Amino acid sequence: MPLSVHDLRKEYSTRSGPLAVLKGVDLTLARGEALAVMGPSGSGKSTLLHILGTLDRPTSGSVELEGTSPFQLSESALADFRNRHIGFVFQDHHLLPQCTVLENVLIPTLVDRSAKPNSHESWARELLSRVGLSDRLDHRPAELSGGERQRVAIARALIQKPMLLLADEPTGNLDRKTAKTVAELLLQLHREQNTILMAVTHSMELASLFPRRMEMNDGLLT
The neighbour count for residue 75, using CB atoms within 10 Å, is: 7
Contact 131, 154 (CB under 8 A): yes
pLDDT 10s digits, 120-133? 899 999 999 999 99
Give CB contacts under 8 A, 24+ apart, made by 77-84: 78/54, 79/111, 80/111, 80/113, 81/54, 82/53, 82/54, 82/55, 83/108, 83/111, 83/112, 83/160, 84/112, 84/114, 84/160, 84/162
Which residues, in sequence order, are bridge partners of residue 16?
none
Is pLDDT of 73 > 60?
Answer: yes
Quick one: pLDDT at residue 196? Answer: 97
CA distance 131 to 134: 8
3-state secondary structure of 1: coil
Quick one: pLDDT at residue 31? Answer: 96
pLDDT 10s digits, 205-218? 999 999 999 999 99
Rounded alpha-carbon distances, angstroms, from residue 111 to 56, 83, 135, 209: 20, 8, 27, 34
pLDDT 10s digits, 147-183? 999 999 999 999 999 999 999 999 988 999 999 999 9
Which residues, in sequence order, are bridge partners of residue 27?
5
Which residues, in sequence order, are CB contacts of 77 under 8 Å at separation 6+? none
Quick one: pLDDT at residue 52? Answer: 97
The neighbour count for residue 27, using CB atoms within 10 Å, is: 18
Go through the domains of the chain in sequence order and give each one's CATH number: 3-95+162-221 (3.40.50.300)
pLDDT 10s digits, 87-117? 999 888 889 999 999 999 999 998 776 656 5
Quick one: pLDDT at residue 87? Answer: 96
Longest pairwise C-alpha distance within the chain: 55
3-state secondary structure of 121: helix
Quick one: pLDDT at residue 42? Answer: 87
Quick one: pLDDT at residue 220? Answer: 95
Average pLDDT, integer, range 59-78: 96
Quick one: pLDDT at residue 116? Answer: 60
With a pLDDT cut of 70, the percent of the chain lying above it is 97
Which residues, in sequence order, are CB contacts of 153 under 8 Å at separation 6+? 89, 90, 93, 94, 95, 170
218 dihedral zone (left: phi>0; alpha: psi -120 to 50; beta): left
Q: What is the mean pLDDT of the chain?
A: 93
Is pLDDT of 68 > 80?
Answer: yes
